[in-house]
């Protein structure tokens, strides 16, 4: 038995590669890291790693985490810059008993001292998008916080070990040092190999109000199927936050238990990719259901074509 | 009905002041902030605010958070420097829909732009302790990570609103940018005014493996008394982590429900202070019990005298 699930269509190539590893007795940690590194490395995904979108000062600050479900060890970075693969830095930190969550300059310093690949993570495309947004804000006074598509993955290997990991460049145009849920245990991710794991994407400021990843794992521990656990945790908090805070931001969560069964809950349109020993890697699209049950359908070729076209819009056509 | 509970003996003067506010219809947020600011301001407490102990580079980096139990809004800072009251910065950030958790230079920049008091938080005493530790490490090669006494408070006001807040300078001699559980929702703190709140102190790296503050609130929401909820959450995770990770770090948690009933769980020797509409402010000492029930006793005058003498050791006597 093995499996891996991750947030957004962008995860799919990584899911395909990681599932080959898991099929061939690869480790859960290697599979999760492979999946996320592929997203970090791909220049057309604008919310994770290389080609991500910067903060309001034009600095691309990134957050990432790694959690081992066998031992609960966690590594995390927040506000790290100029490093090719934040998830690998987080994984390395998870081996430290102390100082395993590092932020700002201290995180970047650790990555440099340890020899992680240094890289200017801005591309010509992300620079152009930043310039366009600055102009737009000057003209229309927009304060637009869109774009918070974190990659979050949960993997299970044939030995029964599970890992959860995340990586994100956070909100486009965020304030310097802003951190969302991605590197925060319980909110952005959680995993227990004896139960299962979950990972989140959406508005970090609201996700950390609910500790939804922890709650989904806990509910799976009570015996719920991942789909039931994800729907119950996400929708009940969506309703609670709407009532108490006035509005709930975007929440999307993926979950997998230690048998490779999976589930997803969302309150927006949300794509994801999943594979296990019974199901070939596939992309799905999910939406909020009326009865607090997420609606999940296979992705269409039409959707994929439109997505491909959108992310690869020629740079001179951006903003037109 | 009203109440406030906070971690460590150091919280007591703040608990006395905050309980006067709550008695006179003060707000839960003001009471929690008052309590924590008094600890931040007092130069003899070496793990919070002014007079705190620095990281290995000699920089005093601080973490703090504030959560409103009515709306779930959260503000947090991590790795902030040169600001007199990190908890007040966190409270101010909790009013922001976006960018409410800021780390590193971005957190310090926010505090400066918003006019929060700028202050060199190192004292002659903390400089001396840093110098002594450097010498000691040179001589004995010690890698001593002691001193992680976060102030964490949970307050309930007469209108039924609840707040949780924390402040810490983290591990003495931590690596630059190291962050513990204090500013992390669910691990360092959590509160829901319809249920209750909890806050933690101890080894942040291990506390964030368990999301214990969230779990205690959740168990109180199932109807458990705060003492029962704290013991159940803390001891079951202590045992689980000991089995799976090999060892559990120091965990101490305080909890209060929305009736002002309180509870405490710990796996070390732990002092705390509490007051409510039925009980005068008092300091207690807690210890791990054999049967997964925390033992709580009133503090003795002898303990208090020894503590006072220890924290006020003349500077020229330190290390002797």
Over the stretch A95-154, which tens digit does the pLDDT of each residue have?
A: 999 999 999 999 999 999 999 999 999 999 999 999 999 998 888 766 656 666 899 999
Q: Does B111 touch chain A (CB under 8 A)?
A: no
Which of B72, B210, B245 lies nearest to residue A241, judging by beta carbons? Answer: B72
Residues 138 to 177 of A: which have CB under 8 A from any B CB? 145, 171, 174-177
CA–CA gap between residue B185 and residue B205 (Å, rounded): 14
**Average per-residue pLDDT in chain A?**
96
Which of A174, A205, A211 lies nearest to residue B97, judging by beta carbons? Answer: A205
Asked if A238 contacts A268 with a C-beta cutoff of 8 angstroms, the reply is no
| Max CA pair span of chain B | 57
Over the stretch A153-170, which tens digit does the pLDDT of each residue have?
A: 999 999 999 999 999 999
The pLDDT, as a whole number, for residue B299 is 98
pLDDT at B70 exceeding the cut of 90: yes
**Domain span including residue A281:** 3-317
Residues 221 to 280 of B: which have CB under 8 A from any A CB? 241, 244-246
Which of B97, B177, B241 lies nearest to residue A105, judging by beta carbons? Answer: B177
Give the pLDDT band of residue A320 (cuts 50, 70, 90). Answer: confident
Residue of A nearest to B214 (CA): A211
Give the pLDDT band of residue A30 (cuts 50, 70, 90). Answer: very high
Over the stretch A207-248, which tens digit does the pLDDT of each residue have?
A: 999 999 999 999 999 999 999 999 999 999 999 999 999 999
Give the pLDDT band of residue B143 (cuts 50, 70, 90). Answer: low
Give the contacts of A251 (CB within 8 A, at least 6 positions apart): A200, A202, A203, A206, A207, A210, A212, A234, A237, A238, A265, A266, A267, A268
For B204-265, the DSSP string reads HHHHTTTTHHHHHHHHHHTT--HHHHHHHHHHHHHHHHHHHHS----EEEEEEETTS-EEEE
Count of structural domains within chain B: 1
The pLDDT, as a whole number, for residue B138 is 83
Annotated catalytic residue, options A34, A108, A150, A266 = A150
Give the contacts of A229 (CB within 8 A, at least 6 positions apart): A216, A217, A219, A220, A255, A263
Is A82 labelled as part of a ligand binding site? no
Report the share of chain A in percent with pLDDT over 90.
Answer: 94
Give the pLDDT band of residue B320 (cuts 50, 70, 90). Answer: confident
pLDDT at B145 exceeding the cut of 70: no
The pLDDT, as a whole number, for residue A145 is 61
The pLDDT, as a whole number, for residue B200 is 98
Residue reference for tokens 């006395």: B16
Report the share of chain B in percent with pLDDT over 70.
Answer: 98
Q: Does A109 touch chain B (CB under 8 A)?
A: yes
The pLDDT, as a whole number, for residue B146 is 63
CA–CA gap between residue A6 and residue A219 (Å, rounded): 19
Q: Does B104 touch chain A (CB under 8 A)?
A: yes
Over the stretch B210-253, which tens digit does the pLDDT of each residue have?
A: 999 999 999 999 999 999 999 999 999 999 999 999 999 999 99
Is A201 labelled as part of a ligand binding site? yes
Give the pLDDT band of residue B43 (cuts 50, 70, 90). Answer: very high
Min Cα–Cα distance to chain B from A105, Å: 7
Q: What ipTM was assigned to the predicted interfaces of this complex?
A: 0.97
> A76-100 as b/e, with b when 16 or more CB fall inside 10 Å?
bbbbbbbbbbbbbbbbbbbebebbb
The pLDDT, as a whole number, for residue B164 is 99
Give the contacts of A265 (CB within 8 A, at least 6 positions apart): A216, A227, A230, A231, A233, A234, A235, A251, A252, A253, A255, A286, A294
The pLDDT, as a whole number, for residue B144 is 53
pLDDT at B148 exceeding the cut of 70: no
Q: Which CATH number do you get for residue A286? A: 3.60.20.30
Q: How far is CA B16 from CA B51, B106, B161, B181, in A?
A: 22, 34, 19, 26
DSSP letter at B181 equals S
**Average per-residue pLDDT in chain B?**
96
């Amino acid at each position: 038995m093995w499996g891996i699930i991750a947030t957004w269509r962008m995860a799919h190539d990584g899911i395909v590669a990681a599932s080959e590893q898991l099929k061939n007795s690869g480790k859960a940690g290697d599979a999760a890291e492979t999946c996320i590194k592929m997203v970090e490395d791909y220049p057309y995904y604008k919310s994770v790693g290389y080609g991500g979108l910067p903060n309001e000062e034009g600095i691309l600050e990134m957050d990432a985490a790694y959690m081992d479900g066998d031992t609960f060890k966690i590594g995390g970075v927040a506000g790290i810059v100029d490093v090719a693969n934040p998830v690998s830095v987080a994984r390395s930190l998870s081996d430290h008993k102390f100082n395993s969550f590092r932020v700002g300059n201290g995180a970047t310093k650790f990555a440099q001292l340890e020899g992680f690949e240094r890289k200017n993570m801005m591309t010509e495309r992300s620079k152009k998008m930043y310039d366009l947004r600055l102009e737009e804000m000057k003209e229309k006074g927009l304060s637009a916080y869109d774009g918070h598509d974190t990659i979050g993955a949960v993997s299970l290997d044939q030995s029964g070990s599970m890992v959860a990991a995340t990586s994100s460049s956070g909100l486009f145009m965020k304030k310097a040092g802003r951190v969302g849920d991605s590197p925060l245990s319980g909110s952005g991710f959680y995993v227990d190999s004896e139960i299962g794991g979950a990972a989140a994407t959406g508005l970090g400021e609201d996700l950390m109000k609910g500790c939804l990843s922890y709650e989904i794992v806990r509910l799976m521990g009570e015996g719920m199927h991942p789909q039931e656990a994800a729907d119950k945790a996400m929708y009940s908090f969506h309703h609670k936050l709407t009532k108490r805070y006035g509005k709930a931001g975007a929440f999307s969560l993926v979950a997998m238990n230690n048998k490779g069964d999976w589930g997803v809950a969302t309150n927006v349109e949300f794509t994801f990719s999943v594979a296990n020993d019974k199901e070939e890697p596939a992309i799905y699209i999910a939406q909020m259901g009326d009865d607090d049950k997420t609606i999940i359908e296979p992705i269409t070729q039409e959707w994929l074509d439109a997505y491909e076209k959108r992310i690869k819009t020629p740079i001179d056509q951006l903003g037109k």
